[in-house]
Amino acid sequence: MIAAADLSPAYDLIVIGGGPAGLAAASLAARAGLSTVLFDENPGVGGQIYRGITSTPVKNGTVLGEDYWAGAALASEAKASGASIVNGATVWTLDPSLAVGISIAGKARLVQAGRVIIATGALERPFPIPGWTLPGVMTAGAAQTTLKAQGLVPSGRTVLAGCGPLLWLLAAQLLRAGVKIEAMLETSSRRNWLRALPHLPDFLLSPYWRKGLGLMREVKAAVPVIPVQKLAATGAGKLKEVVYVSGGSERRLLADLLLLHHGVVPNVNLAMAAGAAHRWNERQLCFVPELDDDFGSSVPGIAIAGDGAGIAGGTAAAERGRIAAIAAVRALKPEASVPAPQVVRQKLAREEMGRAFLDVIYRPSDSFRRPEGDTIVCRCEEVTAQQVRATADMGCEGPNQMKAFLRSGMGPCQGRLCGLTVTELIAEQRRVSPAEVGYYRLRPPVKPITLAELASLPIGEAERKAVER
Amino acid sequence: MFKRLHDTPTVTIKVNGQTVRARSGDTVAAALLAAGIDHCRTTPVTGAPRAPYCLMGVCFDCLVTIDGIGNRQGCLVPVREGMEVATQVGKREAGR
Ligand code: FES
């Protein structure tokens, strides 16, 4: 275990995030001779997709599937590469001078980088339905995380709802682990099919479609899959029933656990707080960073690889990490030998191929992204859709002004679970595009840090400069 | 809500003074879920109960007090033998 005090004051490359992009980037850079450190917040490497890859108690290989186990090679490569890999390390600031503020076991440090690769990946898109804050309602990703890392599986009446590849994958994994799933409530609109057709040829050439069809078949054989147009969780103090509307009639399902998912979006907090420019992506319905061919952001020296650069999945993430790392090596140590970038780019292009089809076919319906009435939008401050809409109608033009009125986005999650919803609601009320409305302005610290942690910073010249501005 | 696939718990922690058996490799949030503890905290605004929602460090619904330090994200902290966990009530207990 590496402690804050063991860190060097400076590294050639600092990689933030230990998923496929971060692991691949750190391995490549360290092998090429850059002094490299990888910071990851979780107890072990792997990110979300390869969560618990070095420690999972789920030894039966078929439960999680071969795509999961592919992560083991990345993890062991990174370990052997000479990069320092630090888990339990929370990055709370990154500034344009490439000073990285890190906190490990309650002790904070500022570390200087020659280059930074942000590989903080994705998080699940907010899914604001009535009752989504009740205990018993979780994200599908959460259930997958605890299956991978701790071997925990749902034990009561379990309902899955939403859309997207991860929901099917989770359903299949739970079934293989012996879990009974009461129903899978499918929220994507049938109309998406027509819009997705132009992207079908590419999809058929991609590795996704065979796997996808197989998973869907596996799940449909064991679970009723019901198309739904409305969805709510109800119960007093915890989930009791899932209420849905299918084909015009309302139905109720007793449930102990409701797992929600309708896609993932880039986790933009650190990149935005570092000043990287982002723009609205209408196909993926989220903000993505503006990047060059090497995944360099608008801030010199900071690259953003993996799903944080726009959603493309785990295997694409690793290739993106490699491309960003090659650029870092070329900038800092031009004489070092690195893999040929064209080869990596070709692999990446293949991995990204079926994405457009998936984005369109699983585009979450408007009604599941833009709630109404007293459905909670901001979980932390318990702000409702009605409040956001009414405040927008009063003339509040953007999410930052909204903070002053409603405190939305000002709780501990710093807008991670409400940012896109608030932007889209304001856009709908003002009848403008989300691009025009923009996103929360994010500032460091991007994770809460205590005064005690700040006080543990050793005070030197560099540190003084980093905080006085 | 959750059960263990196979491993037997080997670590003992205290949750609100009660003994809870966990497995080394559990996060605090996972240990609470496996023990059937149905919420981690109540919210500062309406006092509504909350349980872990994302298990990946983004939602902060898993905030608990761990060994006397408040507002720790239970889903990011691994359990340790003898750890004392307390669920939180209402206002985020800043500085505690
Ligand atoms: S469960 Fe979401 S931050 Fe821990």
Q: What is the pLDDT of residue B96?
A: 41
CA of A16 to the centre of ligand 1 (A): 19
For A359-435, list the strands marked E by DSSP.
376-378, 383-384
Q: CA A19, A458, A272, A133: dihedral to nearest 10 degrees? A: 70
The answer to whether the CB of A145 falls within 8 A of the CB of A56 is no
Q: What ipTM is given for this predicted complex?
A: 0.94
Exposure on the CB side of residue B44, measured as CA atoms within 13 A: 15
Q: What is the tens place of the pLDDT at every residue in A391-411?
A: 999 999 999 999 999 999 888
> Where are the strands (E) in A83-215, listed by range?
84-86, 89-94, 99-104, 107-118, 122-124, 137-139, 152-154, 158-163, 181-186
Residues B87 and B35 sit within 8 Å (Cβ to Cβ): no
The Cα A114–Cα A36 span in angstroms is 10
A186 is written with which tokens?
């499918």
Handedness of CA A432, A361, A220, A65 (dihedral sign): negative
Cβ–Cβ under 8 Å, residues A233 and A129: yes
Of 3.50.50.60, 3.40.50.720, 2.40.30.10, 2.30.40.10, the CATH number of A126-262 is 3.50.50.60
Question: What is the C-alpha to C-alpha distance for residues B30 and A145, in angstroms, rounded to an integer?
Answer: 10
Distance of CA A196 to the CA centre of its chain: 24
> What's the pLDDT tens digit per position in A407-420?
998 889 999 999 99
Question: Could you give the maximum distance between any two Cα atoms of chain A, in Å?
Answer: 68
Q: Which residues of B have a CB under 8 Å from any CB of A?
A: 1-7, 23, 25-27, 30, 33-34, 38-39, 43, 45-46, 48-61, 63, 69, 71, 76, 78, 92, 95
Average of pLDDT values for A372-387?
96
Contacts with A211 (C-beta within 8 Å, 6 or more apart), sequence order: A67
**pLDDT band for position A88 (50/70/90)?**
very high
A145: CA distance to ligand 1 center in Å?
Answer: 11
- Tell me the CA distances in angstroms from A67 to A40, A53, A56, A294, A453, one per residue in order: 22, 11, 15, 26, 39
Q: Which of B2, B39, B43 sits opposite A154 (nearest CB)?
A: B2
B61 to chain A: closest CA residue:
A380
Letter string b/e over residues A206-221, b meaning 16 or more CB atoms within 10 A of that residue's CB: bebbebbeebeeebee
Residue B95 pLDDT class (50, 70, 90 cuts): very low
Cβ atoms of B49 and B3 within 8 Å: the answer is: no
CA A77 to chain centre: 23
Which of B27, B43, B58, B87 to mutate for ligand 1's pocket (most ligand atoms within 8 Å of CB)? B58
Beta bridge partners of A160: A184, A259
Nearest-Cα distance to chain B for A41, in Å, is: 7
> How far off is chain B from A342, nearest CA to CA, in Å?
34
Q: For residue range A237-270, what is the model confidence (pLDDT) as tens digits?
A: 999 999 999 999 999 999 999 999 999 999 999 9
Tell me what pLDDT residue B7 has. 72
> B10-87 maps to which CATH number?
3.10.20.440
Cα dihedral A2, A8, A9, A12 sign: negative
User: Which residues pair with residue A94 across a beta bridge?
Assistant: A100
SS3 state at A211: helix
Nearest CA to A299 among A54, A126, A129, A98? A98
Contacts of B51 in chain A (CB under 8 A): 135-136, 138, 238
Q: Does residue A263 contact residue A271 with C-beta atoms inside 8 Å? A: no
- Cα dist. A297→A39, A271, A292 in Å? 19, 9, 7
Edge-to-edge strand order for the sheet containing B84-86? B18-22, B11-15, B84-86, B63-66, B69-73
pLDDT of A434 > 50? The answer is yes
The domains of chain B are located at 10-87
Q: Which pLDDT score is estimated for A210?
A: 85
List all residues whose CB is within 6 A of at least one atom of ligand 1.
Answer: B 29, 52-55, 57-62, 73, 75
Q: In this structure, what are the phi and psi dihedrals at residue A246, rounded to the nearest 5 degrees?
A: -130, 125
pLDDT in tens, A150-204: 999 999 999 999 999 999 999 999 999 999 999 999 999 889 999 999 999 989 8
The residue whose two tokens read 């070329």 is A330
Q: How far is CA A78 from CA A71, A305, A456, in A?
A: 11, 16, 30
The domain limits of chain A are 8-123+265-338, 126-262, 370-437
* Helices and strands counted in chain B (H then E): 1, 8
Q: Please judge whether A151 and B76 are an interchain contact, meaning their C-beta atoms are less than 8 angstroms apart.
A: no
Q: Among candidates A26, A29, A32, which has minimal Cα distance to A85?
A: A26
State the Cα–Cα distance between residues B72 and B2, nearest whole angstrom. 22
Instruction: Check: CB of residue A259 under 8 Å from CB of residue A160.
Output: yes
In whole angstroms, give the CA distance from residue A362 to residue A446.
Answer: 30
pLDDT of the residue at B91: 55
**What confidence tens digit (pLDDT) does each residue in A116-132 have?**
999 999 999 999 999 99
Q: What is the dihedral of CA A93, A94, A99, A105, to 10 degrees?
A: 40
Superfamily name with CATH number, domain A8-123+265-338:
FAD/NAD(P)-binding domain (3.50.50.60)
* Residue among B55, B77, B92 with most chain A CBs within 10 A, to mutate: B55
Kindly report, residue by residue over A202-214, the tens digit of the pLDDT. 898 887 888 899 9
Give chain A's mean pLDDT. Answer: 94
Which residue, among A238, A79, A259, has the nearest Cα to A153 in the 3D structure? Answer: A259
CB pairs under 8 A between A and B: 130
> pLDDT tens-digit profile of A4-42?
889 999 999 999 999 999 999 999 999 999 999 999 999
pLDDT in tens, B1-52: 899 998 778 899 999 999 999 999 999 999 999 999 989 999 988 999 999 9
Per residue in A264-298, pLDDT tens? 999 999 999 999 999 999 999 999 999 999 999 99
d(CA A330, CA A310): 24
**Can the peptide bond before residue A445 be classed as cis, meaning omega within 30 degrees of 0?**
yes
Percent of chain A at pLDDT above 70? 98
Examine domains A8-123+265-338 and A126-262 and report if their fold is the same: yes
Question: What residues of chain A lie within 8 A of the CB of B43, using their CB?
Answer: 382
